[in-house]
Amino acid sequence: MPLKIHHLNCGTMCPHGKRLINGHGGLFESGEMCCHCLLIESADGLVLVDTGLGTGDVRNPAHLGAAFAAITRPRLVMEETALHQVQALGFKPADVRHIVVTHLDLDHAGGLPDFPEAQVHVFKPEHHAAMARPSLGEKGRYRPAHFAHRPKWVMHETQGEKWNGFDSIRTLPGSRDEILLVPLIGHTRGHCGVAVNTGNGWLMHCGDSYFFREEVNPQHPHCTPGLRLFQNLVQIDGKQRRANQVRLRELVAAKGKEVELFCAHDPVELARYAA
């Protein structure tokens, strides 16, 4: 039976320079970026893939840091938080049994405190980076307020079985539903994609391994200049990040609609699935 999957926007960001971000509009218009998350009705309860921004961030924007707020200009409304959207669908917060994160950047892990009973699945190198915050950039991207509730971490190795040529780890080994962590290192030390067997094919949340839909176009890959600059500025390992984009394009070329890819922040991709 196909999985029921809800596509949620758990945070809207409005950086300056729409043409540079979205590829159209004016240089002085506000752009639009989303925080594309999944809510999966699985055999083992609800599973969130990423959480976007949380209720604590809306109540206290200082959680996010001045630099993030100035650059991305988040909208910060309660109705967009994962917690409110889960409740609007008729579920309780405790129904979210698992959270699978592509990585622990503030705009992907901000909602963790809203689901304190959930198990949080993450690659070991990502967890280590978020706890140690070894560089100046990592001190900004990983926010202590998002982990102060002491999440129920489930840490995974970055190697396992093969999935379409990629290493993968099954996050819920006791469940009949296949939700895989797929290493896509580069944006952060433990960044991953999350591949979900929908019953009709595979859906892969690529997190921040790319930012603009045309980056995984096998024929004519390209990115808007603003997003290309941002990726280069925040990447931990640019060589690996670019190599993984090549591998994603190869996956699209080889599998077509058998494996559908989307990233975390492209509103056009979100609208495609939300429709």
Report pLDDT for 37: 98
CB-count burial class (<10 Å; 0-12, 13-18, 19+) for 186: buried
pLDDT of 275 strictly over 80: no
pTM: 0.96
pLDDT of 257 strictly over 90: no
| Mean pLDDT of the chain, nearest integer | 96
* Domain positions in the chain: 4-274
Report pLDDT for 90: 97
Give the side-chain half-sphere CA count within 13 A for 135: 9
pLDDT of 1 strictly over 80: no
Report pLDDT for 160: 82
* pLDDT, tens digit (0-9, with 9 covering 90-100), for 138-157: 999 999 999 999 999 999 98
* pLDDT, tens digit (0-9, with 9 covering 90-100), for 153-170: 999 988 888 999 999 999
Report pLDDT for 110: 98
Identify the CATH homologous superfamily for domain 4-274. Answer: Ribonuclease Z/Hydroxyacylglutathione hydrolase-like (3.60.15.10)
Quickly state the pLDDT bin for 135 (edges 50, 70, 90): very high
How far, in Å, CA of 133 to CA of 141, rounded?
Answer: 9
pLDDT of 213 strictly over 80: yes
Q: Which amino acid, one-letter code, is at 98?
A: H
Residue 158, both tokens: 């970055």
